[in-house]
Amino acid sequence: MNEDEIHECLTALDGRSAQGEYEAIARLEASGIDVPELLLRRYRTSRRWSDRALCLRLCTRYAKSDEPAFRLGMLALDDRSKIVRQKACLLLAATQRKEAVEHLAKLLSDPGCREHAASAIRALEQAAPD
């Protein structure tokens, strides 16, 4: 897959069409591209909170098995957008990696994310042992 085709797939990941997103992700996966790593790079360059939140949502399906998905969740805990931080809590809960608990605990004092962080911490504490 060349850069233009990758850009075309990334353009389809705009939150407007679930079917379009599914097809774009399938094309990227079929070409052997590390989708979570690509979403992590996209997150780092996105200026709009909605684009960053979309990266987290799309990466959740890789959360349990992919290191870049975990890194994305950890990075997004410090995002300036409350919605992005909330999605980071969800992504980290899905990773089932208990090492995220101490980082999630920092959001317990954030009124906009307190409930999400607490839920993620509970989910991680109840997850099967590593």
pLDDT tens, position by position, 74-127: 999 999 999 999 999 999 999 999 999 999 999 999 999 999 999 999 999 997
Range of the domain at 82: 63-126
The yes-or-no verdict on residue 15 having pLDDT over 80 is no
Question: Would 20 be classed as within a structural domain?
Answer: no
Average pLDDT estimate for 68-75:
96
Question: Would 30 be classed as within a structural domain?
Answer: no
Q: For residue 94, give the CATH number of its domain.
A: 1.25.10
Q: How many domains does the chain have?
A: 1
Question: Would 4 be classed as within a structural domain?
Answer: no
Question: Would 49 be classed as within a structural domain?
Answer: no
Q: Which residue has the higher pLDDT, 105 or 20?
A: 105
pLDDT of residue 19: 83
Question: Would 33 be classed as within a structural domain?
Answer: no
One-letter amino acid at 82 equals K
Question: Would 1 be classed as within a structural domain?
Answer: no
With CA atoms as reference, report the closest residue to 74 among 45, 44, 29, 47.
Answer: 44
Question: Would 76 be classed as within a structural domain?
Answer: yes
Question: Would 112 be classed as within a structural domain?
Answer: yes
Q: Which alpha helices (DSSP H) does 13-113 contain, by range?
A: 18-30, 35-45, 49-59, 67-76, 82-95, 101-105
